[in-house]
């Protein structure tokens, strides 16, 4: 059985490259939940919907990429925290015509496991600064 480290890594890559739920589902329970205190994500409560949101985001920020800055495993609490910096330029579609503006935005995922599957993920992200940086707010 893969470790939570390996599962979190593989999920993170699938999610943050915009592969959507189909690629993320093998790492998660079907009813895995999601939470974030960030305006664009307030209505998203399932990991399925978040994975699809990321997939959509990558059609707007078509050069989107990430750099992992920290990857921490807490075996006592059965979770993994990943700190990354997402970079993307608004080149297509979106809530306004393409602005050509680029953001570098920090975020953290805390991924909770049960029985070797992801059951919940919380995203910590300052969406307001990211949206302003893209010219969307």
- Distance CA(12)–CA(22), nearest Å, equals 13
Q: Mean pLDDT across the stretch 113-133?
A: 97
- Please give the residue that has the higher pLDDT: either 57 or 1: 57
Q: Is the entire prediction scored with pTM above 0.85? A: yes
- Give Cα separations from 36 to 2, 69, 91, 93 (angstroms): 27, 20, 26, 24
Give the pLDDT score at 46: 98
- Distance CA(100)–CA(56), nearest Å, equals 17
User: Which residue, 97, 22, 15, is CA-closest to 64?
Assistant: 15
Domain coordinates in residue numbering, the chain = 4-134
Q: Indicate the CATH number of 4-134 among 1.10.540.10, 3.40.50.300, 3.40.50.620, 3.10.450.50.
A: 3.10.450.50
């Amino acid at each position: 059985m893969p470790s939570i480290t390996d599962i979190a890594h593989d999920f993170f890559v699938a999610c943050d490259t915009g592969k959507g739920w189909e690629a993320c589902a093998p790492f998660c329970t079907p009813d895995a939940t999601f939470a974030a205190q960030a305006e664009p994500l307030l209505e998203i409560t399932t990991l399925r919907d978040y994975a699809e949101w990321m997939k959509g985001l990558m059609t707007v920020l078509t050069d989107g990429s990430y750099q992992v800055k920290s990857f921490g495993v807490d075996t006592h609490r059965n979770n993994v925290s990943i700190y990354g910096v997402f970079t993307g330029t608004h080149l297509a579609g979106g809530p306004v015509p393409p602005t050509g503006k680029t953001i570098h935005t920090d975020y953290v995922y805390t991924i909770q496991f049960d029985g070797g599957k992801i059951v919940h993920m919380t995203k910590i992200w300052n969406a307001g600064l990211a949206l302003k940086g893209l010219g969307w707010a």
